């Protein structure tokens, strides 16, 4: 065991040196640990020194945007948009990677050697010679023994777009292009990118949600046998909008929860480099309507709640921004939320953020304040919760939501920020903050503190008004 731990320490030093991480990450461990914890992911956040395509073997957790995730056998797979930090996109074909533990990812390359010809030709013809910026926002699912990989091709800022479909017998390919599922031109109101597919748990109908900016998010029915449009030429109906045409809404993802028998629609608001934040609605039917926490139809004008991710910053780190355009995975009784996160000190560095997702007693999803690291779950007692915590209210969309220090005292009182009390019953933490004006129902879990590099206890909660709150114990 001593030799194994020592080797992990050597690998940690090598990784930190290789990646030239920020000065903040070079600070001594704030907990005074001399050797790394066996659950320390040993992943640096600044990957600028390996961002070039010649170093793509290091890109497991790096250069990631618009992820979609699936499990097959012993591996989890993520497919994502073609992106590179600091360089033009030198390879186009949708990136993909795999992992056995959801923590350490192996970059496998690109699903296609190039943009599939039918999609490429459509963009060239419609634009008069303009080439797509790469493959964007793929979506993968398995139907029978076949994997279906949907992908987007577009020109940035325009509605000259299409969603294509490729099929294969394995998530690792090879892939056979089946052609274009749906396409839009400058004359259309809708933008045909960002596909996600959901299957009706009762009827077996297939539905595809898609869209970005412009007229909002639309839903159209697919042929289950082929994965193409059930009715060619059908553009579908709108299921999510904001306040006006061209408001920032994109990246739909739909997750079915069999226990609650509800469908959850995730969409991202804001700009992908900084103000990205994720909103959620739910429905009894896969094709909607989807309602927010206030009962508002998401297809109608207005910004919806809850907001479950946004820019944030804990101590000992520059924080994260652009935390949006998520994928979601149901894996047995476990649920995962995957998105990009852009480093606070450099918003162009795009890192893989994968978090556990939970559902409150009222049926709304919340996600862990920290990235997943495989830390084992243990029974957490009321006595374990007493102590100092960093708390974040996810209330701000235009700037980082910064942590404040609070202390949960034995007996139920709270020190700091005018908070009156806390209780812990049957695994649910209730936090009454701001003189009782903010009351969180929070789920408690063991996790990894990525900023302080140690195991800790976390909570993630939601108020009745849809305000999300995160916390981690720091003493």
Cβ neighbours around 56 below 10 Å, total? 20
Are 399 and 432 part of one and the same domain? yes
Q: What is the CATH number of the domain that holds 154?
A: 2.115.10.20
CA dihedral 120, 126, 131, 137 (to 10 degrees): -60
Q: What is the CATH number of the domain that holds 423?
A: 2.40.128.10
Domain count, the chain: 2
End position of a domain, from candidates 367, 398, 413: 367
Q: Does 50 reside within a domain?
A: no
Q: Does 219 reside within a domain?
A: yes
Half-sphere exposure of 38 (CA within 13 A, CB side): 7
Residues 6 or more apart from 144 whose CB is under 8 A from it?
none
pLDDT value of residue 28: 46
pTM of the predicted protein model: 0.93
Are 262 and 391 part of one and the same domain? no
Are 121 and 175 part of one and the same domain? yes
> Confidence band (pLDDT; 50, 70, 90) for 184?
very high
Are 238 and 198 part of one and the same domain? yes
Q: Does 18 reside within a domain?
A: no
| C-alpha to C-alpha distance for 52 and 58, rounded to whole angstroms | 10
Q: What percent of the chain has pLDDT above 90?
A: 88
Give me the domain span that covers residue 198: 60-367
Reduced to 3 states (helix: H, G, I; strand: E, B; else coil), residue 94 is coil
> Confidence band (pLDDT; 50, 70, 90) for 259?
very high
Q: Does 1 reside within a domain?
A: no
Q: Does 55 reside within a domain?
A: no
Are 82 and 128 part of one and the same domain? yes
> Confidence band (pLDDT; 50, 70, 90) for 66?
very high
pLDDT value of residue 12: 42
Reduced to 3 states (helix: H, G, I; strand: E, B; else coil), residue 116 is coil
Residue that is written with structure tokens 């009182």 in the block: 413
Q: Does 372 reside within a domain?
A: no
Are 329 and 449 part of one and the same domain? no
pLDDT digit string (tens) for 377-424?
A: 999 999 999 999 999 999 999 999 999 999 999 999 999 866 789 999
Contact 195, 209 (CB under 8 A): yes
Are 273 and 401 part of one and the same domain? no
Are 315 and 279 part of one and the same domain? yes
> Confidence band (pLDDT; 50, 70, 90) for 34?
low
End position of a domain, from candidates 344, 367, 390: 367
What spatial distance separates the first Cα and last Cα of the chain, rounded to whole Å?
Answer: 27
Q: Does 90 reside within a domain?
A: yes
Are 114 and 156 part of one and the same domain? yes
pLDDT value of residue 32: 60
Are 187 and 302 part of one and the same domain? yes
pLDDT digit string (tens) for 111-131?
A: 999 999 999 999 999 999 999
Are 287 and 203 part of one and the same domain? yes
Q: Does 312 reside within a domain?
A: yes
392: nearest Cα among 306, 315, 294, 279: 315
Are 293 and 426 part of one and the same domain? no
End position of a domain, from candidates 367, 401, 418: 367
**Average pLDDT of the chain to the nearest whole number:** 92
How large is the average pLDDT for residues 42-58? Answer: 97
Task: Tell me the CA distances in angstroms from 180 to 82, 110, 365, 377, one per residue in order.
Answer: 19, 20, 33, 45
């Amino acid at each position: 065991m001593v030799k194994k731990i020592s080797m992990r320490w050597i690998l940690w030093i090598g990784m930190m040196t290789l990646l030239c991480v920020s000065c903040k990450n070079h600070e001594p461990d704030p907990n005074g640990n001399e050797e790394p914890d066996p659950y320390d992911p040993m992943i640096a956040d600044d990957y600028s020194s390996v961002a070039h395509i010649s170093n793509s073997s290091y890109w497991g957790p790096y250069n990631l945007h618009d992820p979609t995730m699936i499990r097959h056998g012993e591996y989890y797979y993520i497919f994502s948009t073609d992106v590179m930090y600091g360089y033009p996109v030198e390879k186009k074909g949708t990136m993909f990677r795999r992992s056995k533990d959801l923590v350490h990812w192996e970059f496998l390359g690109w699903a296609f050697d190039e943009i599939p010809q039918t999609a490429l030709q459509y963009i060239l013809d419609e634009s008069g010679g303009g080439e797509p910026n790469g493959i964007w926002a793929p979506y993968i699912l398995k139907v029978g023994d076949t994997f279906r990989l949907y992908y987007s091709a577009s020109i940035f800022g325009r509605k000259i777009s299409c969603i294509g479909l490729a099929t294969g017998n394995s998530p690792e390919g090879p892939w056979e292009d089946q052609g274009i599922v749906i396409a839009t031109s400058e004359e259309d109101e809708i933008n045909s990118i960002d596909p996600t597919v959901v299957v009706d748990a009762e009827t077996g109908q297939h539905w595809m949600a898609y869209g970005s900016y412009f007229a909002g998010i639309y839903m159209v029915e697919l042929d289950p046998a082929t994965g193409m449009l059930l009715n060619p030429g059908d553009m579908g109906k709108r299921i999510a909008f904001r306040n006006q045409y061209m408001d920032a809404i994109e990246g739909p993802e739909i997750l079915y929860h069999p226990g609650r028998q509800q469908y959850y629609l995730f969409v991202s608001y804001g700009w992908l480099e900084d103000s990205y934040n994720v909103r959620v609605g739910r429905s009894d039917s896969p094709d909607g309507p989807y309602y927010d926490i206030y009962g508002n139809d998401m297809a109608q004008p207005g910004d919806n709640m809850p907001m479950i991710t946004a820019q944030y910053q804990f101590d000992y780190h520059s924080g994260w921004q652009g935390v949006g355009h998520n994928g979601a995975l149901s894996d047995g009784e476990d649920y995962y939320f995957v998105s990009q996160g852009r480093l606070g000190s450099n918003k162009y560095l795009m890192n893989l953020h994968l978090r556990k997702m939970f559902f409150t007693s009222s049926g709304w999803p919340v996600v862990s304040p920290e990235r997943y690291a495989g830390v084992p779950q243990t029974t957490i007692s009321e006595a374990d919760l007493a102590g100092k915590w960093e708390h974040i209210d996810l209330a701000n969309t235009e700037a980082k939501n910064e942590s404040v220090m609070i202390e949960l005292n034995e007996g139920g009182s709270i020190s700091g920020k005018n908070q009156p009390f806390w209780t812990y019953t049957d695994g649910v933490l209730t936090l009454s903050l701001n003189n009782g004006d903010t009351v969180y129902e929070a789920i408690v879990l063991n996790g990894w503190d990525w900023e302080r590099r140690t195991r800790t206890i976390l909570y993630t909660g939601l108020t009745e008004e849809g305000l999300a709150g995160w916390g981690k114990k720091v003493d």
